[in-house]
Chains A and B, each alone.
Chain A
């Protein structure tokens, strides 16, 4: 009898370990919590994701997403899932991105579904690039919305959650990510939402 209860206790211990290990891994591989990520304001970035010395959490996260990481020699990718007030980005809303884009030879701003799928939109344009944007170095605000906005505009799909990725190709920032601060990165402000 005593024997049986200790076997049962061992099984419970193993089951708890199995559940605990899975939960721990799932939590730490959530982009919102993963170690190795740097956060500045609304932006999350993995500066070493595309480097041979990337940490195992970052490697596992990118492998699970199926994404090819950007190498430091290529540039920097910044990801935003929420607006400046902390609300998840939703295609039902209109956003304004302001504050200028950090220095880079070229940049692109693209909207994706949270799983990395490009979004279908009536304008049939998946992103906005430095060559398309009006204003050059004096770039004004970018409107992010389903319906066309004035000036620079990134189209959104009809509905649903989305994430923004700002890619800076050939940027001096890769060498000095420690010097990055939220003040120098674009801000994302929600204007209004459809019901």
Chain B
């Protein structure tokens, strides 16, 4: 028995080793190639922030059976999204907040949450976020006036592209219209460089 085991041990070891290797490979590749990642589902509907300074935001229909923003979407949340590309310049997201819970999430192209903040981070009922690369951050800081505090929150991104997701709570069907209007007024735009 032990002789047999010894004779086949290289193969058993090889099979185990290749199992583990394949497992790690699938795990790392899956988020990038999954057929319906939230990132892809959302990117299909996001409009790229326009360089002309116009807001490019789409407010999605509230999720209901047969028409969801993404799997496991909360039907009590109104969702708006826009795409960004920092190679064009820093990207600003501004929204006023209401009484109801509101959140802003920055997603990678694969749908991973890179940054998220809720309306608790708002100042004077306004969430003002600028996504920047390291270089853009330095350029903006060089322009900052020395005697006043910067109002916006600057988030440094390691990759240039992704999606911004704005969500606000609309607990009753009668709250949906106001929530859509609130998010519809939000701003998503590329700032001019320099």
**A residues apposed to B, CB below 8 Å:** 9-10, 12-14, 16-22, 24-25, 28-29, 49-52, 54, 56-57, 59-60, 62-69, 71-74, 105-106, 108, 110, 112, 115-120, 126-127, 129-132, 165, 167, 169-170
- What are 25 pairs between A and B in contact, CB < 8 Å? A12-B11, A13-B18, A14-B18, A16-B11, A16-B18, A16-B19, A19-B19, A24-B20, A29-B30, A52-B113, A56-B28, A63-B38, A64-B34, A66-B70, A68-B70, A68-B73, A74-B118, A106-B171, A108-B76, A127-B76, A129-B171, A131-B175, A165-B74, A169-B118, A170-B101
Whether A74 and B23, one on each chain, are in contact in the complex, defined by CB atoms closer than 8 angstroms, is no
B139 at interface by CB-CB < 8 Å: no
**Is B194 interfacial (CB 8 A cutoff)?**
no
Contact B113 A50 (CB under 8 A): yes
Check B101 against A63 for contact (C-beta < 8 Å).
no
Tell me if A116 and B72 are in contact (CB < 8 A).
Answer: yes
B19, A66: Cβ atoms closer than 8 Å: no
Contact A25 B74 (CB under 8 A): no
Shortest CB-to-CB span from B89 to chain A, Å, is 24
A51 vs B117: C-alpha distance when bound (angstroms): 11
Please give, as numbers and ranges, the residues of chain A lying within 8 Å of B171 by CB-CB distance. Answer: 106, 108, 129-132
Give how many A-B residue pairs fall within 8 Å (CB-CB). Answer: 179
Within 8 A of A (CB), among B83-116: 100-101, 103, 105, 107, 110-116
Does the CB pair A170–B64 fall under 8 Å? no
Kindly state the separation between the CA atoms of A129 and B38 in the bound complex, as whole angstroms.
24
Partner of B15, one of A17, A54, A106: A17
In the assembled complex, B137 has its CB within 8 A of some CB on chain A: no
Q: Are A169 and B113 in contact (CB under 8 A)?
A: no
- Asked if A65 and B114 sit within 8 Å, CB to CB, the answer is no
Shortest Cβ distance from B17 into chain A, in angstroms? 7
Q: Pick from A18, A69, A72: contact of B18, CB below 8 A.
A: A18
Residue B172, interface by CB 8 Å: yes
Give chain B's interface residue range (CB within 8 Å of chain A). Answer: 35 or more
Q: How far is the CB of B181 from chain A (nearest CB, A)?
A: 18
Q: Is the CB of A73 within 8 A of B15?
A: no
The residue of chain B having its C-beta at the shortest distance from the C-beta of A23 within the complex is B19
B38 touches A68 (CB 8 A): yes
Partner pick for A57 among B27, B121, B165, CB 8 A cutoff: B27
B65 and A71: CB pair below 8 A? no
Question: Interface 1/0s, chain B 32-73, versus A by CB < 8 A?
Answer: 001011100110000000000000000000011110101111
Question: A132 to B64, alpha carbons, bound, how many Å?
Answer: 17
Residues in B117-146 with C-beta less than 8 Å from chain A: 117-118, 120-121
Contact B15 A22 (CB under 8 A): no
User: Would B76 and A129 count as touching, CB distance under 8 A?
Assistant: yes
Q: State in angstroms the CA–CA spacing of A116 and B38 once bound together.
A: 12
- From known contacts A65-B71, A68-B165, infer whether A170 and B76 are also in contact, taking CB-CB under 8 Å: no
What's the nearest-Cβ distance from chain A to residue B62, in Å? Answer: 9
A54: which B residues are within 8 A, CB to CB? Answer: 112
- State the CA gap A129–B17 with chains docked (Å): 49
